[in-house]
Amino acid sequence: DQQVKQNSPSLSVQEGRISILNCDYTNSMFDYFLWYKKYPAEGPTFLISISSIKDKNEDGRFTVFLNKSAKHLSLHIVPSQPGDSAVYFCAASYYKLSFGAGTTVTVRA
Amino acid sequence: NAGVTQTPKFRVLKTGQSMTLLCAQDMNHEYMYWYRQDPGMGLRLIHYSVGEGTTAKGEVPDGYNVSRLKKQNFLLGLESAAPSQTSVYFCASSQGTVNTEAFFGQGTRLTVV
């Protein structure tokens, strides 16, 4: 029973444009949400997070939006750069950290 | 800054063999996790620990055992390896679960033949 879902397995975007990654969750007890980035043959690295009491958090080119009523969060990357090509995992936390299946982002030159 | 270190990085096992994966963290974190990553499945939680001497089951605990005898170490054991346990295993640690991120190791690629 996967409580965190990323329904788009892949996303292709042109360099300079916006990348939008989506994530849905089912457990209303989740109180902290995170995005991780993963390159091949490396462990995931933390990208950005948001507390359940907020609806937006920004860090440079990365913005995470949280819609608690819809149990939905999204990650916006603007502008997208070739180095952003990676797998992005959405994660949610309540006593333990649960991950989605990941979205592979490819940024085209 | 070692962070989270996993040993070994690669291993090939025969069906029925046993092995232990070691995870060590030097950040004095309370929480430690073991995940497995499979294509299309993302990161699935096997077992986790909220402090020294504690362990709890995650989403996919069957076939695995864990121990947290020391705060800095979290061991994942496979008593009788099966081909279905072929995967990439990641260990992570965090100080808590709210307003803090988890740090991951480099992963262990395990193949069971």
Number of C-beta neighbours around residue A5 at 10 A: 16
- Block residue for tokens 């947290």: B68
3-state secondary structure of A102: coil
Nearest CA in chain A to B91: A43
pLDDT digits (tens, 9 = 90+) for A54-74: 999 999 999 999 999 999 999
| Per-residue pLDDT at A100 | 94
- Say how far apart CA A70 and CA A13 lie, in whole Å: 26
- Block residue for tokens 């007890």: A29
3-state secondary structure of A70: coil
| Per-residue pLDDT at B39 | 85
Q: Is B58's CB within 8 Å of A100's CB?
A: no
- pLDDT tens over chain B, length 113 residues: 679 999 999 999 999 999 999 999 999 999 999 999 998 888 999 999 999 999 999 999 999 999 999 999 999 999 999 999 999 999 999 998 777 889 999 999 999 99
How many CA atoms lie within 13 Å of A60's alpha carbon, on the beta-carbon side?
Answer: 6
- Say how far apart CA B29 and CA B89 lie, in whole Å: 19
Nearest CA in chain B to A32: B98
Q: Which residues of chain A are modeled with pLDDT < 50?
A: none
| Per-residue pLDDT at A68 | 96
Q: Mapped to the 3 state alphabet, what secondary structure does chain B carry?
A: CCCEEEECCEEEECCCCCEEEEEEECCCCCEEEEEEEECCCEEEEEEEECCCCCCEECCCCCCEEEECCCCCEEEEEECCCCHHHCEEEEEEEECCCCCCCCEECCCEEEEEC
3-state secondary structure of A14: strand
| Per-residue pLDDT at B1 | 61
Rounded to 5 degrees, φ, ψ at A83 are -70, -10
Tell me the β-bridge partners of B89: B36, B108
| Per-residue pLDDT at A1 | 66
Size of interface A-B (CB pairs under 8 A): 70
Interface mutation target, options A1, A49, A96, chain B, most CBs of B under 10 Å: A96
| Per-residue pLDDT at B45 | 94
